[in-house]
Amino acid sequence: MAVEFTLYSRSYCHLCDDMLAALQALQGEFSFTVSVEDVDADPALVELYDELVPVLVGRHAGTESRLCHYFLDAEAVRAFLHTALSS
């Protein structure tokens, strides 16, 4: 099963750009996809994530985990990937 990440982001957010770059750097070690969702395009996402942006959510085999916000927690992401890819 594929591992997917969604980065909840917004325009003109340097922390969002930094988190995306740090996550993409892990693609050399692991196979996964990343999509970027603009929270300001959906009022429900603003309600959920407004002050936490950027927020990284991982999905695998029907499970979803909020892994980190503000800065990439590489340790949490690697642990999620190891668990997902070993199952």
Q: How far apart are CA 39 and CA 29, in angstroms?
A: 28
Q: What is the per-residue pLDDT across 54-77, written as a single tens digit (0 to 9) for each?
A: 999 999 998 999 999 999 999 999
Task: Kindly tell me if the per-residue pLDDT of 27 is higher than 80.
Answer: yes
Percent residues over pLDDT 90 in the chain: 87
Task: Kindly tell me if the per-residue pLDDT of 85 is higher than 90.
Answer: no
Q: Please give the average per-residue pLDDT across 77-83, as a whole number.
A: 94
pLDDT of residue 33: 95
Q: How far apart are CA 45 and CA 82, in angstroms?
A: 28
The DSSP element (H or E) to which 5 belongs, if any, is strand 4-9
**Structural domains of the chain in order of their starting residue, each with its CATH number:** 4-12+19-38+53-86 (3.40.30)
Percent residues over pLDDT 70 in the chain: 99
Q: Please give the average per-residue pLDDT across 32-53, as a whole number.
A: 96
